[in-house]
Amino acid sequence: NAGVTQTPKFQVLKTGQSMTLQCAQDMNHNSMYWYRQDPGMGLRLIYYSASEGTTDKGEVPNGYNVSRLNKREFSLRLESAAPSQTSVYFCASSDSSQGARTAFFGQGTRLTVV
């Protein structure tokens, strides 16, 4: 019962470097999400994918790109990392049940940009 799996768990980048955060879910959910969480704050939505083949911007999409590779996988790419992108990144997936979307979260990726 893996649920939502994120890799890597920790990463340190230099300013300007690029990297891709990987996320995979095994619950056959249609929708997937990327959030960031800064210290003492709630989660802010970066991008989401309502279903395979679609992606949409959330609250804070600048500096990020996403790819919904297939139904299971949803990756987040930082093309040119900046210190302001230091954060904990969470991937989540959900499916609708009578219109409600209960999200299941991964364990997070702690990213530090120096």
Partner 1 sequence: SQQGEEDPQALSIQEGENATMNCSYKTSINNLQWYRQNSGRGLVHLILIRSNEREKHSGRLRVTLDTSKKSSSLLITASRAADTASYFCAIGGFKTIFGAGTRLFVKA
What does the binding site for partner 1 look like in residue numbers (CB under 8 A)? 4, 31, 33, 35, 40-45, 48, 50, 56, 58-59, 88, 90, 92, 99-108
CB of 16 to partner 1, least distance (A): 27
CA distances from 111 to 21, 28, 74 (A): 10, 27, 18
CB of 34 to partner 1, least distance (A): 12
The residue type at 83: P
CB of 68 to partner 1, least distance (A): 13
Closest to partner 1 by CB, 72 or 101: 101
Closest to partner 1 by CB, 70 or 107: 107
Residue 57 structure tokens: 């911007």
First to last CA, the chain: 35
Closest to partner 1 by CB, 90 or 113: 90
Give the CA diameter of the chain. 45
Main-chain phi, psi angles of 61, to 5 degrees: -85, -15
